[in-house]
Amino acid sequence: MNRYNFEGRTAVVTGGAQGIGYAVALQLLAGGAKVSLWDVDAAALETARKALNSDHVHTATVDIRATQQVDAALTSTEGAQGPVAILVHSAGIAGASRSVADYDPAEWRNVVDINLNGCFNVNRALVAGMVARDYGRILNIASIAGKEGNPNAAAYSASKAGVIALTKSLGKETASRNVAVNCITPAAAKTRILEQVSQQHIDYMLSKIPRGRFVTVEEIAAMVCWLVSQDNSFTTGAVFDLSGGRATY
């Protein structure tokens, strides 16, 4: 895997205790970044911190639905590691596998609150400092479901479509500064999020991928690291697919 120079940069990775977030954190650290892992799971954060075994790792237990917790996590991060130049927003949940007719409204609200409102809360908190310093890279992790809509996953699909639109809007707002805001729309990766959905839904997602396999977290991290590097000096407000051939637009 190519390595990019992140020396002197501080990065926040939400959902960083496991899965995609953890894989991204590994590559950022390899490039010399200081990394703050934000996650709601305190025990998983501690496990990740020990596994990474680096003086350049900071952790913050934060529920991204709560703006006060997000603001507190940012204050803690910058106090420990300096101004944040990179955000990789990976935190999210799959939600229940149910048809719209059978979907629990409370579950709908929870999925949207975490996946979309949480994305807004984190982006809002971090972008202001990036604009003030005239440097920043934001990468939001959406999903191919946000483009195509998966059956029995309307809440997840709708929330990820919202992440795509939020990314495009913010990317245009910051385009006159050296702040790039992009998102990726991966097909399903074999992470713990699959534990939240039915085997039938897993089989459906796999059947839609022409490559015939799930994307790996390392493959996702490779694309993410270019997008949050200095090398990405022009592209903003864009959507990058990692769909194994599934995406048609």
Q: Which two tokens stand for residue 248?
A: 């048609």
The Cα–Cα gap between 103 and 86 comes to 36
What three-state secondary structure class fits 22? Answer: helix
Q: Which two tokens stand for residue 237?
A: 């407000």
Tokens 């997000």 correspond to: 70
Give me the count of residues in the chain.
249
Q: Which of 89, 92, 138, 141 is nearest to 112 (CA)?
A: 92
Tokens 């050296």 correspond to: 178
The Cα–Cα gap between 169 and 82 comes to 27
Q: How many CB atoms lie within 10 A of CB 167?
A: 25
CA-to-CA separations, 81 to 9, 31, 44, 117, 244, in angstroms, rounded? 9, 16, 21, 26, 37
Phi, psi dihedrals of residue 235, rounded to the nearest 5°:
-70, 130
Q: Please, are residues 39 and 62 in contact by the beta-carbon 8 Å criterion?
A: yes
CA-to-CA separations, 126 to 54, 78, 116, 133, 156, in angstroms, rounded? 24, 11, 16, 11, 24
Out of 4, 22, 103, 156, the active site residue is 156
Is 103 in the active site?
A: no
Q: Which of 105, 93, 81 is nearest to 41 (CA)?
A: 93
Active site residues: 156
